[in-house]
Amino acid sequence: MKNIKLVFWGVLAVISLLWFAADPAVFEARTVFALRDFMMQYSGVLAISAMSIAMVLALRPRWPEQWLGGLDKMYRLHKWLGISALIFAVVHWLWSETPKWAIGLGLLARPERGERPVVVNPVEQFLSGLRDPAEGLGEWAFYAIVLLIAVALIKLIPYRLFFKTHRVIAVAYLVLVFHTVVLAEFAYWTSPLGLILALLLIAGSLAAVVVLFRRVAHGRQVTGEIVELQHYPGVRALESRIKLQPGWPGHQPGQFAFATSDNQEGAHPYTIASAWDPANPKVTFIIKALGDHTSRLASELNIGQQIKIEGPYGCFTFDDGAARQIWIGGGIGITPFVSRMKYLAQTRNQKPEGAAQTIDLFHSTAELDEGALARLATDATDADVRLHVLIDAKHGRLTGDRIREEVPDWRDASIWFCGPVGFGDALRADFAAHGLDVNTKFHQELFSMR
């Protein structure tokens, strides 16, 4: 989380400093209308810059994943940038419209317009001739962006609708690129701000084209065939085992992949619940029925069905070198730990003399399925992991105090959490209050791609 916060605030700070350097006359504005021109430029530059970076992150690039802490953190940054772009765009629109409303209500006097300076630069002349279509199209693109981002943020709207409409943002973005190129202060383009802005617009435009042609992460996709399905009705979960065609690079425990079983529904992310074996190229997903799509999978998936798999992604891979670890899996958040336990069991069989970790796994769940718990207990035994299962109705809520009571040497351990965000945040704050360096020792998967 620390790195994505640095990037988020760093981007806004750098763009702001570059803008103030490019347009220092803002500090001399003495009227509402003089300030309006500056604020429209400033808010517009911030909005398109944030949107450009968000558009690049939509490609799921590999190069920043390790530094940002995984694709889950990158998507959190993508979301923050999208929301901030929306806020800046609304501010931009308000600066454009509010003074007009104030004039209509008699609250402000219409300013006298002097003669416009003569434009001699041929490029500036050309752009000036496009002002009217740039303003008109930009306004409609703004309305579209507001609607589309609202669809993305409102979780009650089905994923299928979100998937279909979110791609349209790329079209609106390209319109806003045209809007920016035409209406940005022409002098900006010969300043450092103009150079950075041009690079962002080019990168964002290329990303938008990739999104529109549905080529996102195309080179990281392989086809698989479902070879086994196991339903756990008590916890409303479905385990699917998929045999992969050549091309899968292998995965680490704790990573996830995008799976597409219905092209109309699009790709959904699922944590991989199996260790990688090159001699037997398969992946296993354990999918909880949490929404309309995942609730239908038990009846829609069949043995022999073709599935498209993309990945792997994520940095929740347990590789911090700690000899003592505490794992906490809330609900379906148990999945990455299943994968890691299978990997540890596989490693023990191959290298029984290897150094062993001391691990406690806490699984907190509101639902119960004896078959699923039996499988989990077997995995824990095979991996030499001490398992603690807590059923909410029977044992109450899992707390930091309970974990510290069960693991007296918790100060020497790193903590790995996957589950509901609020639950993880509460545990993180609790351990921080007891002196744990949570910035280096508390690892939390932010498994939310919307």
Evaluate if residue 29 carries a pLDDT over 90.
Answer: no
- 107 or 41, greater pLDDT: 41
Per residue in 246-279, pLDDT (tens digit) is: 999 999 999 999 999 988 888 889 999 999 999 9
Evaluate if residue 130 carries a pLDDT over 80.
Answer: yes
In this prediction, residue 150 has a pLDDT band, given cuts at 50, 70 and 90, of confident
CA angle 287, 266, 418 (to 5 degrees): 35
The Cα–Cα gap between 54 and 81 comes to: 6
Residues 6+ apart with CB under 8 A from 327: 337, 340, 359, 360, 361, 362, 385, 415, 416, 417
Residues in the chain: 450
- 176 or 298, greater pLDDT: 176
Per CATH, the number for 220-313 is 2.40.30.10
Quickly list DSSP for 217-262: TGGGEEEEEEEEEEEEGGGTEEEEEEEEPTT-----TT-EEEEES-
Evaluate if residue 353 carries a pLDDT over 70.
Answer: no
Per residue in 181-200, pLDDT (tens digit) is: 999 999 999 999 999 999 99
- 152 or 21, greater pLDDT: 21
Nearest CA-CA partner of 347 in 411, 275, 402, 298: 275
Q: Which CATH number fits domain 324-444: 3.40.50.80, 1.10.760.10, 3.30.499.10, 3.40.50.300?
A: 3.40.50.80
Provide the pLDDT for residue 156.
76
In this prediction, residue 375 has a pLDDT band, given cuts at 50, 70 and 90, of very high
Domains 2-113+120-212 and 220-313 share a fold: no
For residue 362, give the H/E element and its range: strand 358-365
What are the CA-CA distances from residue 221 to residues 150, 163, 172, 245, 299 (Å)? Answer: 29, 18, 27, 10, 25
Per residue in 56-96, pLDDT (tens digit) is: 999 999 889 888 889 989 999 999 999 999 999 999 999 99
Average pLDDT for 10-26: 96
Annotated domain spans of the chain: 2-113+120-212, 220-313, 324-444
Provide the pLDDT for residue 376.
95
Evaluate if residue 14 carries a pLDDT over 80.
Answer: yes
Residue 200 · residue 49 · CB < 8 Å: yes
- Helix 370-383 crosses helix 335-350 at what angle (to 10 degrees)? 40
Q: In the CATH hierarchy, which top-level class contains the domain 2-113+120-212?
A: mainly alpha
Per residue in 37-56, pLDDT (tens digit) is: 999 999 999 999 999 999 99
Provide the pLDDT for residue 398.
94
Average pLDDT for 298-321: 93
Q: What percent of the chain has a predicted confidence (pLDDT) above 90?
A: 70
Collapse the DSSP code of 387 into the 3-class scheme (helix H, G, I; strand E, B; otherwise coil) and give the result: strand
Q: Please state the pTM of the whole predicted model.
A: 0.89
Provide the pLDDT for residue 321.
85
Residues 6+ apart with CB under 8 A from 394: none
Average pLDDT for 392-398: 87
State the average pLDDT for the chain: 91
